Amino acid sequence: MTVSAGRHAVDAVLLAERHVLANDVQIAVTAMTKREIIEELLSRLQRFTHRESETIVNAMFDAMANSLTRGERIEIRGFGSFAVKQRRARQGRNPKTGQLVKVDAKRIPFFRAGKELRIEVNGSDEAGR
């Protein structure tokens, strides 16, 4: 599934806000919730009611989840891509007892940020990558 979107069309989908303090490597992370995404949509497009905005956001997330469940890749130009990665079965350890435990193979969703998003998040230092 390929979704073409402008660079700023996905601003409301930002996952976290980070603040780095001078030489201290303390990072404060606050997550943007689905409710805040709905409110952002409402503030940008006042013609929608709260219920309509909620339906739009839920429909978008449902469509993305359904595509990933089918093993499809989702690409949002300027933002990034979502895909499903296959993890092999392996031997793990119970951290409490140290006993070996069988970990089954599984599929996990994976997000890779696009170049434009990386540049925006990290500043212009990333432009050369």
Residue ranges of alpha helices (H) inside the chain are 34-44, 50-69, 115-122
Q: Residue 18 pLDDT more than 80?
A: no
pLDDT of 30: 84
Total number of domains constituting the chain = 1
pLDDT of residue 26: 54
Q: Is it the case that residue 28 has pLDDT exceeding 80?
A: no
Residue 49 structural domain: 2-128
pLDDT at 36: 95
Q: Which of 27, 33, 28 is closest to 14 using CA atoms?
A: 33
Average pLDDT over residues 19-41: 72
pLDDT band at 123 (very low <50, low <70, confident <90, very high): confident
Please name the residues in contact with 29: beta carbons below 8 A apart, sequence gap of 6 or more: 16, 17, 18
Task: Check residue 125 and give its pLDDT.
Answer: 60
What is the CATH number for 102? 4.10.520.10
Burial classification of residue 81, based on how many CB atoms lie within 10 Å of its CB (0-12 exposed, 13-18 middle, 19 or more buried): middle
pLDDT above 80: residue 86? yes
Residue 127 has pLDDT above 80, yes or no: no
pLDDT tops 90 at residue 16? no
Give residue 17's pLDDT. 37
Residue 12 has pLDDT above 80, yes or no: no
